[in-house]
Structure 1
Amino acid sequence: MTLKNAPAYIQLAVDLIQILEEHELDNDTVLKALTLVTQDFENKRDNVSIAP
């Protein structure tokens, strides 16, 4: 399977990994940032209003 045929979430994960590695940040910094990002997107997902 090529990345081109992979699901969108796999493609995004690979892109994010590449971006983070290019910035040469330490692992703890990256993990803390990803925790915040995860919490933010979970909050957005959970607070979506469903239009009548």
Structure 2
Amino acid sequence: MTTNKTTSSPLDNAPDDIKLAVDLIYLLESNHIDPRIALNALKIVEDDLRKKIAQQ
């Protein structure tokens, strides 16, 4: 008889912001995005999110 063990990752218990960061890093790396372009894009995203937070 074989047992079906589910393996857990340290990421399973990580905070949501860490999980999102890991997902974003994976997305950027798997799509071979130039790190300079990624940083510029992330600055734009950060500015947009800060504006949205300020409007709340």
Q: Which has the larger radius of gyration?
A: 2
SS in 1 for 2:32: coil
TM-score norm. by structure 2 comes to 0.80
TM-score norm. by structure 1 comes to 0.86
Identity of aligned residues (%): 42
Gaps of 5+ in 1: none
Gaps of 5+ in 2: 1-8
Number of paired residues? 48
**Alignment RMSD, CA only?**
1.2
Aligned to 2:17: 9
Letter in 2 for 1:46: A
